[in-house]
Chain A
Amino acid sequence: MTSTIRQMTTKGTPYFFLLPGLVILGALLSVPLYKVVEYSLYDNVIVERNPTYVGLANYQTLLTDPGYWSAGLNTLLFTVGSVLGHMVVGIGLALLVNADIAPRARTFFRSMLVLPWIFTAVVVALNWQLLLNPFGLINYILQWMGLTTEPLDWLGDPNLAMWSLLLISTWRGYPFIMVSFLSGLQTVPRELYEAAEIDGAGFWSKFWHVTLPQLKPVIYGVALLDLIWTFQLFPLVWLSTGGGPGRATEVLSTLTFRLAFVDFQFSQAATVAVSILIISAAFTLLYLRNEARRL
């Protein structure tokens, strides 16, 4: 009783607690978001003191630029390929780690398998540049196994670079899915598996008819989150291939960075950045609809 009275008399209290956080987030997100849209409507922002208003001209230039469309296509390939890779490897490993083994062994394997996720992107990129080098270990193993006769330039060949990037991205990103799926697995009621076993269900049958349907909301949410993050990913791509060779792995985020900090075309860069924002906003709405149900 006392606490309810106290809460009623101190109606302002929650706002007092939330204020610092919400003010910082609000100011440091809404101002820049407003600014980036504004930049995209002007010419020569940042480099010139008095930029000229050009309306939607930057967008027109962008939409007729084949470089933009090829970066868009690469982004689509990279995002879909990465998310698929994360899902397959992440879910597979979660099932393996969750199998009938000693709890200590499980903790050990789980910690080891999460490792790719904690390194900074530069280190990840360097590690794979070393492994995928024409004289590197992966080429050595492939030749030793007789799968290839000559060393391949995995990151330097325009036909292979995107595949190599997907390999790197899969390695880097699967732990997030694995951990989420693993904690989701703990919430599936045991009775469901027992009932399925009585019906004579094997491993796959249990996976398809119990695990997947039970974890559908988890998978959906996590996949959307992964998609939103991968779609705008910059460091891993920039540091692994730099968008190259040529523009073979140029994605929208690396295009934005190149336009801004290499070519100093800040208006064009802002325009690409806004297009990224619009697409991720669409996926964010889907994600929020899913989250709002849980709040």
Chain B
Amino acid sequence: MADVATQGRTINEDRQRRWRQAGIYIALTVVTFIMVFPILWMISVSLKPTTETFSLPPRLLPDSFHWGGYAKVLTDPKFRTFLINSYVVGLAVTALSLVIGTLAAFGFSRYRFFGDRVAKLFVITTQMVPTITLLIPYFGVIVFLGLYDTLWGLILTYLTFALPYSIVMMNGYLDTIPKDFDEAATIDGCTPLGVLVRVLLPVALPGIISTAVYTFLLAWNEFLFALALTRSMDMRTVPVGISMMVGEFGLKWDKMMAFSVIGSLPVLILFMLVQRFVVGGLSAGGVKG
């Protein structure tokens, strides 16, 4: 074996490296295919008639696409209600959590004050409180407030879960922006709120977007409280809607999987968008260097 560090690159080593790279690509492709397979299979089953769900040998690509599952789901008004509810809750929680969370993050990032460490630890601790422990008292509180079986009950609940993440994430992003930005703006006569809104937020845009997407994902995907704090069909969200379909439509796999695909699309699209932001974002925003 040649000594890599002292002898520079020889043709032999270059070839070795290329073989190793090829091996890594093959391994990654195989592993990624296996990991993504359940998702591909979901799409595949959603496009097959139920008579073919378990047909052998299994085929990832059906002979002809069967859109019946999608048609049945999209013409069902119940499904539209679930989607609208999820959007309303998701967007409201994202907006509220982003505003309140950014304000708190600004306080943490830009000031040293009495009790700041304790307050920060408190915020981190709230992420750890078991949601299942909160479920029963929340049920009591939400009923007491007259918010049982309303979207407001869900929005309030999810806001509590989302806020700690918004604060911690935004704090992280704001910390990456040099304090010189603030000082320059303050000298120009900006109030602290002005500094945050006019100077920091534009620079922290990629951070805001990833925080928003994460919050939306959290609210969109939540199941436990959506199940326990609502009762009527009109207030159900997408995850609960899908789970209820299992009982209602039993083994109609085409319909269930079509519903699952449509219900997952918003988070899938958002996630794909945010990936680009996270990668290119911070450095492009003039934060580094």
A residues contacting B by CB (< 8 A) are 2-3, 6-7, 10-11, 13-18, 20-22, 24-26, 28-29, 31-33, 35-36, 39, 45-46, 93, 96-97, 99-101, 105, 107, 109, 111-116, 118-124, 126-128, 130-131, 133, 135-137, 140, 171, 194, 197-198, 228, 231-232, 234-235, 239, 252-253, 256-257, 260-261, 266, 269-270, 273-274, 276-277, 280, 283-284, 287-288, 291-292, 295
B residues contacting A by CB (< 8 A) are 4-6, 17, 20-21, 24-25, 27-28, 31-32, 35-36, 38-39, 41-42, 45, 53-54, 56-58, 100-101, 103-104, 106-108, 110-111, 113, 116-117, 119-126, 128-141, 156-157, 159-160, 163-164, 167, 182-183, 186-187, 192, 217, 220-221, 223-224, 228, 238-240, 242-243, 246, 253, 256-257, 260, 263-264, 267-268, 271-272, 275, 279
Q: Is the CB of B223 within 8 A of A295?
A: no
Contacts of B275 in A (CB 8 A): 107, 111
Residue from the list A15, A26, A29 in contact with B129, Cβ < 8 A: A29
Residue of B nearest to A121 (CB): B223
Q: Is the CB of B28 within 8 A of A96?
A: yes
> How far is the CB of A3 from the nearest CB of chain B, in Å?
5
Given A25-B126, A194-B5, A232-B131, check contact A122 B260 (CB 8 Å). yes
Given A120-B220, A122-B243, A292-B121, check contact A33 B133 (CB 8 Å). yes
Contacts of B111 in A (CB 8 A): 7, 13-14, 17
Contacts of A283 in B (CB 8 A): 128
Q: Is the CB of A234 within 8 A of B131?
A: yes
Q: Offer 25 A-B interface pairs, CB within 8 angstroms, sorted by A.
A: A6-B186, A10-B192, A17-B104, A18-B107, A20-B103, A24-B159, A24-B160, A29-B126, A35-B141, A36-B133, A96-B24, A96-B31, A101-B25, A113-B32, A122-B240, A122-B242, A122-B260, A123-B239, A127-B42, A171-B38, A234-B131, A235-B224, A256-B136, A260-B136, A276-B130
